[in-house]
Amino acid sequence: MTGRYAKWTKLQLINRIKELESQTTVPLKDFSSRGDNRPIDFNKYGQRHVAFKVAYIGWNYSGVAISHMEDNSVESYLLSALIKTSFIKDKDYAKLTRCGRTDKGVNAFGQVISCHLRSKFTKEELLMDNFESEDKKEYDYCRIINKVLPNDIRILGWSFVPEEFNARFDCMYRKYKYFFPCNDLDVGSMALAANYFEGTHDFRNFCKVTPETLDQNYNRTVLEAKIVKSSESPHSLKSNSIAGFYEFHVKGHAFLYHQVRCMIAVLFLVGRGLEKPEIVKQLLDTDTFPVKPTYELAAGENLVLYEAGYENLIFTPVDPSFTFTEWFYKIEKSLVDVVVLSQMLSDAVSSDFCKEIYEKQSGPLLSKGCATGKLAIYTKKSKPTDLINILFEL
């Protein structure tokens, strides 16, 4: 380096950069490429109906669905990004639809969201007979939107869709995966119990029931339900798989509120030896057991909306590799922390004092009507403070 900065220390250079940045008043880049700050007249432009394949780590969000623009939902951040990039003028303009409504903390690598976006072209140009055959390039929606989204929300692919397309009602199936450590669970019994879920059943004992939903139709069709070892999963990177981890795969046309988390919660009771695999079959017999027993809901942080199926919908992928690498190291550290804490708590549970209390609190679902199992860390949210507080609640 030559010139006036050649002999400056690293700290002096950093302070100089900060000083220069504080004097800079360059406006943010206008993604609409207008070159000025005049408001966009949306009436001059056509609309494109676009479906996005979206991934997000839901641990820091209140869920995917928006209630108002200032909430902490995934959709609120997505809509804010669309407004910031001038692709929509407000929430109503977007006419947004989603494939699945994931709860607080739940993740997605295959969420599908459709919305109407401002086109680069006028309404008249989009209506031309030969428009699609012309070499006309639309905005690079994914690249532009990803630039202003939080790092844990990413668009993975996109596709133009017909005007009547609805991401929810046109979806043929949804597939979820629930990841969990073995931790002395009887995985074989859990796998047997999972088989009973397949087929069309009344799932009122495997969902959240409220006074407002008492009269709804609880029948749902599960196409696949199985337990898979993570290292043997078809899409697993074996070098990255954490030893002793398993996945609950469930695929169906549609799911009730909290259905998947209730299903895995009962499977955990089977895995811990508190229930027989046939408990699933019994709870699906709503004539014999018309009222849902009390059991703790499985944590949402382990759940992923993995895939959504549509007819003739092919997404053009964007390169998410940098994002997934960043996510992997962040999540791997969190999982290791949880596994270590799990071992610590397991050791605490093995003490005579905790073991006696644990045995008093846990029991068969149908005989006691509930199974609290406060030391069942598999169904607790993976936060150290929550898990440590369990011990103080005893």
Residues with active-site annotation: 103
Q: 111 near 102, Cβ under 8 Å?
A: yes
Quickly count: other Cβ atoms within 10 Å of residue 320's Cβ.
Answer: 18
Burial environment of residue 179 by CB neighbours within 10 A (0 to 12, 13 to 18, 19 or more): middle
Quickly count: other Cβ atoms within 10 Å of residue 387's Cβ.
Answer: 18
| Gap between the Cα atoms of 353 and 65, Å rounded | 44
Helix H, strand E, coil C: the string for the chain is: CCCCCCCCCHHHHHHHHHHHHHHCCCCCCCCCCCCCCCCCCHHHCCEEEEEEEEEECHHHCCCCCCCCCCCCCHHHHHHHHHHHCCCCCCHHHHCCEECCCCCCCCEEEEEEEEEEEECCCCHHHHCCCCCCCCCCCCCCHHHHHHHHCCCCEEEEEEEECCCCCCCCCCCCEEEEEEEEECCCCCHHHHHHHHHCCCEEEECHHHCCCCHHHCCCCCEEEEEEEEEEEHHHCCCCCCCCCCCCEEEEEEEECCCCCCHHHHHHHHHHHHHCCCCCCCHHHHHCCCCCCCCCCEECCCCCCCEEEEEEECCCCCCEECCCHHHHHHHHHHHHHHHHHHHHHHHHHHHHHCCHHHHHHHHHHCCCHHHHCEECCCCCHHHCCCCHHHHHHHHHHC
| Gap between the Cα atoms of 203 and 217, Å rounded | 9
Q: 207 near 259, Cβ under 8 Å?
A: yes
